[in-house]
Amino acid sequence: MVVALMMVFSVNGAYAKDYVIGEHKVPVAKPDPASTYKGSESCKMCHTEKYDGWKTTGHPYKLNTPAEAQAFNSPPVPAPDGYTYDDIYLVIGGWGWKARFIGLDGYIITKTGADRKTNGSNQYNLATKGWVDYNPGAVKKFDCGNCHTTGYSLAGSQANKPGIVGTWEEKSIGCEACHGPGSEHIKAGGGKGVAIIVNKSAAMCGACHTRGGDDAKIMSKDGFVEHHEQYPEFLNSPHKELNCVSCHDPHKGVHVGQTNPTEGAGITAQCATCHSKQNTDFTGSTMQKAGVKCIDCHMPKTGKSAVGDIAKFTGDVKEHLFKINSDPNAKMFSDDGKLAMGYITLDFACLGCHTGKDKAWASTYAKDGLHKYVKPAAETPAKETEMPEKTPGFGLFFAIAAMIVAIVVRRR
């Protein structure tokens, strides 16, 4: 893909830089040709509510100092075996799923142990609090700045670290990663001065929420969709004419986690907002009464960022395909396992909960009418044969009469 680069000036104006963002390294759009980066803290004074909400999301934590990575985790994320945090320059992630580590030379740590010759055990998974291998033993440069930093340029090496490809103006995904450099907006006093960029296109989010060369293809590996494939999934879904912000507030977190106290805070539209008929059908159904939600079946965790259990058809990233293929013979992945299809198969949609069943069983239910399915009430088991009293209270009458007779006889 040929990328036309825009020449812009750095903060100090001393030299020209080409700023890019995303998997395809697309040139950064700017509110004004003279705009430079000022950092997310500069936005806080006027946009306090947006800033505070952004801090609850995962975006500010894509790249962290050792102190930052430990601050929002309890217990703190440990350093790899054979290292202390004095040996760590930056932590990649550490929020939500996993943590990888950049050494003082800028290279990603791939060898561990007391002698630092053991290949692997260099990625820490938060869910399991355990270590797994990531490119064990390889010489691995940090070349992820296009999606883990703001104001990224391919020129040079950050802090002159030989293992780092490129430089950036702010680590992690800050306000200006999506809105563009804000110096002129700030200088003009915001408002009706130099308006900041507000790009509501799904492609804006898709710059980073994709991987691989073709956005129309959904990359997969080891029985799961690869992480950060939400945009290709979305393009293959029935909702592709919508935008991410149709349902998401990008300034608020979605799931409860290290920095977000409110589940669903960043969801601005529920499924029922548009799918009113299905919601009406679903209300009162067996699944609704059991606590099942739309997203349990239509957005299962088909993706894997850190951990997944293929036997339970459950990863750790929800998908954005929404469409379920009810054919029991449909395959979720290509024969070589490198691509996911444009739909969800019944194993991921159903068998994560209905363990011990198979797709053939699921297909008998996954059809028109499922949303309003009500399980027939079980027949009440017949009691042992007994003779019912024909007159209510008649037996009680005889019992009382017998007691009276006994008392009279005793007094005689």
Same domain for 31 and 167, yes or no, is yes
Asked whether the beta carbons of 202 and 179 are under 8 A apart, the reply is: no
Q: Which of 187, 217, 250 is the last residue of a domain?
A: 187
Give the whole-angstrom CA distance, residue 295 versus residue 301.
Answer: 10
Give the whole-angstrom CA distance, residue 178 versus residue 284.
Answer: 42
Same domain for 47 and 172, yes or no, is yes
pLDDT of residue 403 exceeding 90, the answer is: no
DSSP 241-276: TS-GGGTB-TTS-SS--SS--STTTTB---HHHH-H
Mean pLDDT of 228-257: 96
Give the dihedral sign, CA 30/259/61/297: negative
pLDDT in tens, 345-398: 999 999 999 999 999 999 998 887 788 888 886 533 444 333 333 334 434 333
Specify the pairing of strand 26-27 against strand 19-21.
antiparallel
Same domain for 107 and 214, yes or no, is no
Nearest-10 Cα torsion for 384, 387, 392, 393: -90
Same domain for 22 and 161, yes or no, is yes
- 405 in any annotated domain: no
Same domain for 179 and 218, yes or no, is no
Same domain for 173 and 207, yes or no, is no
Q: What is the pTM of this model?
A: 0.85
> pLDDT at position 192, please?
65
- 412 in any annotated domain: no
Domain with 228 in it: 203-372
> pLDDT at position 331, please?
98
**Residue (of 53, 60, 55) closest to 249 by Cα position:** 53
Give the whole-angstrom CA distance, residue 133 versus residue 118.
Answer: 11
Of 78-92, 203-217, 319-333, give the lowest mean pLDDT range.
Answer: 203-217
pLDDT of residue 272 exceeding 80, the answer is: yes
> pLDDT at position 1, please?
35
**Residue (of 351, 357, 260) closest to 52 by Cα position:** 260
Token pair recorded at residue 381: 């088991």
Spatial neighbors of 83 by CB under 8 A, at least 6 apart, are: 101, 103, 109, 112, 116
> pLDDT at position 382, please?
42
Number of structural domains, the chain? 2
Same domain for 91 and 212, yes or no, is no
Same domain for 320 and 249, yes or no, is yes
Mean pLDDT, the chain, whole residue set: 88
Token pair recorded at residue 37: 């980066």
Same domain for 36 and 163, yes or no, is yes
- 398 in any annotated domain: no
Token pair recorded at residue 46: 């006027």
Token pair recorded at residue 267: 């969801």
- 279 in any annotated domain: yes
Same domain for 164 and 53, yes or no, is yes
Same domain for 148 and 224, yes or no, is no
- 291 in any annotated domain: yes
- 227 in any annotated domain: yes
Specify the pairing of strand 63-64 against strand 303-304.
unpaired
Give the whole-angstrom CA distance, residue 354 versus residue 365.
Answer: 12
Give the whole-angstrom CA distance, residue 352 versus residue 391.
Answer: 54
∠ at Cα 111 (107, 117), nearest 5°? 130
- 60 in any annotated domain: yes
Q: Considering the chain, what percentage of its residues have pLDDT values greater than 70?
A: 87
Same domain for 130 and 271, yes or no, is no
- 2 in any annotated domain: no
